[in-house]
Structure 1
Protein backbone atom coordinates (compact mmCIF):
# COMPACT_ATOMS: atom_id res chain seq x y z
CA UNK A 1 0.00 0.00 0.00
CA UNK A 2 1.25 3.45 -0.92
CA UNK A 3 2.55 5.84 1.73
CA UNK A 4 1.79 8.71 -0.65
CA UNK A 5 -1.17 10.97 -0.17
CA UNK A 6 -2.85 13.60 -2.30
CA UNK A 7 -0.97 16.89 -2.04
CA UNK A 8 2.48 15.31 -1.56
CA UNK A 9 5.33 16.76 -3.61
CA UNK A 10 7.41 13.99 -5.18
CA UNK A 11 10.38 13.62 -7.50
CA UNK A 12 10.93 10.89 -10.00
CA UNK A 13 12.39 9.93 -13.33
CA UNK A 14 10.43 9.89 -16.58
CA UNK A 15 10.51 6.26 -17.72
CA UNK A 16 8.28 6.54 -20.79
CA UNK A 17 6.22 9.02 -22.77
CA UNK A 18 2.95 8.42 -24.55
CA UNK A 19 0.72 10.76 -26.57
CA UNK A 20 -1.45 11.27 -23.46
CA UNK A 21 1.29 11.85 -20.87
CA UNK A 22 4.46 10.65 -19.17
CA UNK A 23 5.03 7.79 -16.74
CA UNK A 24 7.30 8.63 -13.83
CA UNK A 25 9.14 6.19 -11.54
CA UNK A 26 8.96 7.69 -8.06
CA UNK A 27 11.53 7.36 -5.29
CA UNK A 28 9.12 5.02 -3.50
CA UNK A 29 9.36 2.62 -6.44
CA UNK A 30 5.82 3.37 -7.54
CA UNK A 31 4.89 4.70 -10.96
CA UNK A 32 2.73 7.75 -11.53
CA UNK A 33 1.28 9.40 -14.61
CA UNK A 34 1.54 13.05 -15.54
CA UNK A 35 -1.32 13.62 -17.99
CA UNK A 36 -0.43 15.93 -20.90
CA UNK A 37 -2.83 18.54 -19.50
CA UNK A 38 -0.86 18.55 -16.22
CA UNK A 39 2.62 19.07 -17.68
CA UNK A 40 2.54 22.84 -18.03
CA UNK A 41 0.36 25.91 -17.60
CA UNK A 42 0.82 26.54 -21.32
CA UNK A 43 -0.58 24.40 -24.13
CA UNK A 44 1.45 21.23 -24.73
CA UNK A 45 1.02 19.77 -28.20
CA UNK A 46 3.40 16.82 -27.73
CA UNK A 47 4.63 15.34 -24.45
CA UNK A 48 8.10 14.98 -25.96
CA UNK A 49 8.27 18.77 -26.44
CA UNK A 50 8.39 19.14 -22.64
CA UNK A 51 9.60 15.85 -21.14
CA UNK A 52 12.10 13.18 -22.15
CA UNK A 53 12.88 9.71 -20.83
CA UNK A 54 15.53 9.93 -18.13
CA UNK A 55 14.67 13.46 -17.00
CA UNK A 56 14.04 13.99 -13.28
CA UNK A 57 10.82 15.84 -12.53
CA UNK A 58 9.16 17.28 -9.46
CA UNK A 59 5.37 16.98 -9.29
CA UNK A 60 2.40 17.09 -6.96
CA UNK A 61 0.20 14.05 -6.28
CA UNK A 62 -3.29 15.12 -7.40
CA UNK A 63 -5.19 11.83 -7.13
CA UNK A 64 -4.70 8.25 -6.06
CA UNK A 65 -7.54 6.04 -7.23
CA UNK A 66 -8.79 2.96 -5.35
CA UNK A 67 -6.68 0.72 -7.61
CA UNK A 68 -3.57 2.66 -6.53
CA UNK A 69 -3.04 4.58 -9.79
CA UNK A 70 -1.19 7.80 -9.01
CA UNK A 71 -1.91 10.98 -10.98
CA UNK A 72 0.75 13.67 -10.87
CA UNK A 73 0.87 17.32 -11.90
CA UNK A 74 3.82 19.56 -12.65
CA UNK A 75 1.38 22.36 -13.46
CA UNK A 76 -0.03 22.29 -9.89
CA UNK A 77 3.39 23.29 -8.56
CA UNK A 78 3.36 26.54 -10.49
CA UNK A 79 2.54 29.20 -7.91
CA UNK A 80 1.25 31.59 -10.53
CA UNK A 81 -0.77 29.03 -12.48
CA UNK A 82 -3.71 30.83 -14.08
CA UNK A 83 -7.03 29.73 -12.67
CA UNK A 84 -9.18 27.98 -15.21
CA UNK A 85 -12.12 30.09 -16.33
CA UNK A 86 -13.83 27.24 -18.14
CA UNK A 87 -17.40 27.07 -16.92
CA UNK A 88 -17.17 30.49 -15.25
CA UNK A 89 -18.77 33.78 -16.07
CA UNK A 90 -16.79 37.06 -16.29
CA UNK A 91 -16.97 37.53 -12.54
CA UNK A 92 -15.40 34.10 -12.01
CA UNK A 93 -18.43 32.53 -10.35
CA UNK A 94 -19.35 28.99 -11.36
CA UNK A 95 -22.28 28.56 -13.69
CA UNK A 96 -24.67 25.73 -13.22
CA UNK A 97 -25.34 23.29 -16.06
CA UNK A 98 -28.87 24.73 -16.20
CA UNK A 99 -27.45 28.12 -17.18
CA UNK A 100 -25.79 26.57 -20.23
CA UNK A 101 -29.02 24.80 -21.21
CA UNK A 102 -30.95 28.07 -20.90
CA UNK A 103 -28.38 29.84 -23.07
CA UNK A 104 -28.65 27.09 -25.70
CA UNK A 105 -32.47 27.27 -25.72
CA UNK A 106 -32.33 31.05 -26.21
CA UNK A 107 -29.76 30.68 -28.98
CA UNK A 108 -31.82 27.98 -30.73
CA UNK A 109 -34.99 30.10 -30.55
CA UNK A 110 -33.14 33.15 -31.89
CA UNK A 111 -31.55 31.08 -34.63
CA UNK A 112 -34.88 29.58 -35.69
CA UNK A 113 -36.45 33.07 -35.80
CA UNK A 114 -33.63 34.36 -38.00
CA UNK A 115 -33.91 31.36 -40.33
CA UNK A 116 -37.67 31.84 -40.62
CA UNK A 117 -37.21 35.53 -41.42
CA UNK A 118 -34.59 34.71 -44.08
CA UNK A 119 -36.83 32.02 -45.61
CA UNK A 120 -39.76 34.43 -45.76
CA UNK A 121 -37.61 37.12 -47.34
CA UNK A 122 -36.26 34.63 -49.88
CA UNK A 123 -39.76 33.41 -50.73
CA UNK A 124 -40.97 37.01 -51.14
CA UNK A 125 -38.07 37.87 -53.45
CA UNK A 126 -38.73 34.81 -55.65
CA UNK A 127 -42.36 35.69 -56.30
Structure 2
Protein backbone atom coordinates (compact mmCIF):
# COMPACT_ATOMS: atom_id res chain seq x y z
CA UNK A 1 0.00 0.00 0.00
CA UNK A 2 1.19 3.50 -0.82
CA UNK A 3 2.61 5.73 1.90
CA UNK A 4 1.61 8.78 -0.15
CA UNK A 5 -1.25 10.95 1.01
CA UNK A 6 -3.58 13.29 -0.87
CA UNK A 7 -2.12 16.79 -1.03
CA UNK A 8 1.49 15.61 -0.90
CA UNK A 9 3.85 17.31 -3.37
CA UNK A 10 5.96 14.76 -5.23
CA UNK A 11 8.58 14.74 -7.95
CA UNK A 12 9.16 12.16 -10.63
CA UNK A 13 10.08 11.42 -14.21
CA UNK A 14 7.70 11.05 -17.13
CA UNK A 15 7.96 7.44 -18.30
CA UNK A 16 5.11 7.35 -20.81
CA UNK A 17 3.05 9.87 -22.76
CA UNK A 18 -0.47 9.00 -23.91
CA UNK A 19 -3.17 11.14 -25.59
CA UNK A 20 -5.00 11.43 -22.24
CA UNK A 21 -2.01 12.25 -20.03
CA UNK A 22 1.44 11.26 -18.81
CA UNK A 23 2.56 8.47 -16.50
CA UNK A 24 5.13 9.59 -13.96
CA UNK A 25 7.48 7.33 -11.98
CA UNK A 26 7.71 8.89 -8.55
CA UNK A 27 10.79 8.94 -6.33
CA UNK A 28 9.01 6.37 -4.12
CA UNK A 29 9.02 3.95 -7.09
CA UNK A 30 5.27 4.19 -7.60
CA UNK A 31 3.66 5.38 -10.82
CA UNK A 32 1.01 8.07 -11.07
CA UNK A 33 -0.97 9.68 -13.86
CA UNK A 34 -1.11 13.39 -14.69
CA UNK A 35 -4.29 13.70 -16.76
CA UNK A 36 -4.07 16.14 -19.70
CA UNK A 37 -6.47 18.48 -17.87
CA UNK A 38 -4.08 18.59 -14.89
CA UNK A 39 -0.87 19.45 -16.78
CA UNK A 40 -1.25 23.22 -16.97
CA UNK A 41 -3.51 26.12 -16.11
CA UNK A 42 -3.52 26.83 -19.86
CA UNK A 43 -5.20 24.70 -22.53
CA UNK A 44 -3.08 21.72 -23.57
CA UNK A 45 -4.00 20.33 -26.98
CA UNK A 46 -1.42 17.52 -27.00
CA UNK A 47 0.38 16.13 -23.98
CA UNK A 48 3.64 15.95 -25.93
CA UNK A 49 3.49 19.72 -26.49
CA UNK A 50 4.31 20.09 -22.79
CA UNK A 51 5.76 16.79 -21.54
CA UNK A 52 8.15 14.27 -23.04
CA UNK A 53 9.51 10.98 -21.74
CA UNK A 54 12.39 11.81 -19.41
CA UNK A 55 10.99 15.16 -18.26
CA UNK A 56 11.24 15.66 -14.51
CA UNK A 57 8.04 17.04 -13.01
CA UNK A 58 6.71 18.24 -9.69
CA UNK A 59 3.06 17.48 -8.94
CA UNK A 60 0.49 17.30 -6.19
CA UNK A 61 -1.24 14.04 -5.29
CA UNK A 62 -4.95 14.60 -6.00
CA UNK A 63 -6.16 11.17 -5.02
CA UNK A 64 -5.23 7.56 -4.48
CA UNK A 65 -8.05 5.16 -5.24
CA UNK A 66 -8.53 1.85 -3.39
CA UNK A 67 -6.76 -0.09 -6.14
CA UNK A 68 -3.68 2.13 -5.68
CA UNK A 69 -4.01 4.35 -8.77
CA UNK A 70 -2.38 7.70 -8.09
CA UNK A 71 -3.86 10.81 -9.66
CA UNK A 72 -1.43 13.74 -9.95
CA UNK A 73 -1.78 17.42 -10.82
CA UNK A 74 0.90 19.83 -12.00
CA UNK A 75 -1.83 22.43 -12.49
CA UNK A 76 -2.67 22.45 -8.76
CA UNK A 77 0.85 23.60 -7.96
CA UNK A 78 0.73 26.31 -10.61
CA UNK A 79 -2.54 27.62 -9.18
CA UNK A 80 -1.02 27.79 -5.69
CA UNK A 81 2.00 29.73 -6.94
CA UNK A 82 -0.06 32.45 -8.70
CA UNK A 83 -0.66 35.62 -6.70
CA UNK A 84 -4.14 35.85 -5.13
CA UNK A 85 -5.30 38.69 -7.41
CA UNK A 86 -4.71 36.52 -10.51
CA UNK A 87 -6.76 33.59 -9.24
CA UNK A 88 -10.29 33.11 -10.47
CA UNK A 89 -12.75 35.15 -8.48
CA UNK A 90 -10.19 37.40 -6.84
CA UNK A 91 -9.11 40.97 -7.41
CA UNK A 92 -8.37 42.63 -10.72
CA UNK A 93 -9.40 40.37 -13.60
CA UNK A 94 -8.52 42.61 -16.52
CA UNK A 95 -6.99 40.42 -19.19
CA UNK A 96 -7.03 37.24 -17.09
CA UNK A 97 -10.20 35.72 -18.52
CA UNK A 98 -10.83 32.43 -20.28
CA UNK A 99 -9.31 33.37 -23.63
CA UNK A 100 -5.88 33.76 -22.08
CA UNK A 101 -5.84 37.34 -23.37
CA UNK A 102 -3.38 39.07 -21.05
CA UNK A 103 -3.51 42.48 -22.73
CA UNK A 104 -6.78 44.36 -22.32
CA UNK A 105 -5.84 46.56 -25.29
CA UNK A 106 -5.95 43.52 -27.56
CA UNK A 107 -9.48 42.75 -26.44
CA UNK A 108 -10.57 46.35 -26.96
CA UNK A 109 -9.11 46.36 -30.48
CA UNK A 110 -10.87 43.10 -31.24
CA UNK A 111 -14.17 44.52 -30.00
CA UNK A 112 -13.75 47.70 -32.09
CA UNK A 113 -13.14 45.63 -35.22
CA UNK A 114 -16.13 43.44 -34.45
CA UNK A 115 -18.37 46.47 -33.85
CA UNK A 116 -17.26 48.09 -37.12
CA UNK A 117 -17.87 44.87 -39.03
CA UNK A 118 -21.24 44.41 -37.36
CA UNK A 119 -22.32 47.99 -38.17
CA UNK A 120 -21.28 47.54 -41.81
CA UNK A 121 -23.32 44.34 -42.09
CA UNK A 122 -26.34 45.96 -40.46
CA UNK A 123 -26.09 48.95 -42.82
CA UNK A 124 -25.89 46.66 -45.83
CA UNK A 125 -28.86 44.66 -44.60
CA UNK A 126 -30.92 47.81 -43.95
CA UNK A 127 -30.09 49.13 -47.44
CA UNK A 128 -31.09 45.80 -48.99
CA UNK A 129 -34.38 45.76 -47.08
CA UNK A 130 -35.11 49.37 -48.04
CA UNK A 131 -34.41 48.55 -51.70
CA UNK A 132 -36.80 45.53 -51.60
CA UNK A 133 -39.74 47.60 -50.22
| TM-score of the pair, normalised by structure 2 | 0.61
- Once residues 82 and 49 of structure 1 are traced to their aligned partners in structure 2, the CA distance between those partners, rounded to angstroms, is 24
The 1:67/1:39 distance shift into structure 2, 3 A limit, reads same
Say yes or no: does 1:52 pair with 2:47. Answer: no
Q: Do residues 7 (structure 1) and 7 (structure 2) align? A: yes
State the match for 2:23 in structure 1.
Answer: 23
After superposition, the C-alpha distances for 1:41-83 in whole angstroms (9 at most, x for unaligned) are: 0000000000000010000000100111000000000122744
Instruction: Find the aligned partners of 1:53 and 1:67 in 2 and give their Cα distance.
Output: 25
Q: How many residues align?
A: 84
Distance 2:27 2:16 in 1: 16
Gaps of 5+ in 1: 85-127
- 3-state SS in 2 of match to 1:17: strand
Task: Kindly provide the CA deviation profile for residues 75-120 of structure 1, in whole angstroms up to 9, marking residues without a partner as x.
Answer: 0001227449xxxxxxxxxxxxxxxxxxxxxxxxxxxxxxxxxxxx
Cα RMSD for the two superposed structures:
1.4
Match in the other structure for 1:64: 64
Q: TM-score, normalised by structure 1?
A: 0.63
